A = this chain, B = another copy of it.
């Protein structure tokens, strides 16, 4: 199913096509494609090139690992993410490697890496769905995550699936139109709150 972004001007196709489904196809994600999405994350920019990110990856091809990863999601997410081909956790390194001082850009920069990963995935015909609904303490315990890393997100990754495979309440959400604030609500010129477009965009 396509749910292309509704934009006033056309944007780059993998960015326009990306959305967060809950239905996934059963075909596995190839090792090459998985490497590509991780490479895309790896080359994201970051504050002082600190690269304050790490990823825990589990594929459905290794059922025990996959179950372990699934068990680190809140129950609602387990219900649909079990059909994805890959579960991946995004972790932020909370302190600078060099100084040990807090890195206030760690979460932001994990976001930069994660969006690169998602757009790379879309360019390969994969779908990605990022979740905040995770069990951070369980992730720490199960995967031995050190104190200075923070589990932030999970991503379900797989091939596009048939929405009709979803139970009714999820099917409704899957088919609902995507919604965003207008550009005027997020892009300002001169003063906060003053639409940038008014400047002659």
Chain B residues within 8 Å of A137, by CB: none
Interface check A130, CB cutoff 8 A: yes
CB<8 Å pairs between A and B, sample of 29: A5-B39, A7-B42, A8-B35, A9-B32, A9-B39, A11-B43, A12-B36, A12-B123, A15-B119, A15-B123, A34-B201, A38-B196, A39-B183, A42-B180, A47-B132, A53-B186, A54-B186, A55-B186, A92-B108, A105-B152, A107-B107, A108-B108, A108-B111, A111-B114, A112-B115, A113-B115, A115-B116, A143-B190, A145-B192
In order of increasing CB-CB distance, the 10 nearest A-B pairs are A111-B111, A115-B115, A5-B43, A12-B123, A108-B111, A107-B107, A7-B39, A112-B115, A107-B108, A111-B112
Residues of B within 8 A of A171 (CB): none
Main secondary structure of the interface of A (DSSP, over half): mixed
- Least CB distance, A175 to chain B, in whole angstroms: 16
Interface string of A163-195 (1 = CB under 8 A from B): 000000000000000111101001111111100
Residues of B within 8 A of A83 (CB): none
Known contacts A12-B119, A35-B8, A115-B111; is-contact A43 B180 (Cβ 8 Å): yes
Q: Are B187 and A57 in contact (CB under 8 A)?
A: yes
With a 10 A CB-CB cut-off, give which of A55, A59, A120, A190 has the most chain B CB atoms. Answer: A190
Q: How far is the CB of A126 from chain B (nearest CB, A)?
A: 12
Cross-chain contact B53 with A149 (CB below 8 angstroms): no
How close is A127's CB to chain B, nearest CB, in angstroms? 12
A residues neighboring B (CB under 8 Å): 5, 7-12, 14-16, 18-20, 31-32, 34-36, 38-45, 47-49, 51, 53-59, 62, 65, 91-92, 104-105, 107-116, 118-120, 123-124, 130, 132, 143-146, 149, 152-153, 178-181, 183, 186-193, 196, 199-201
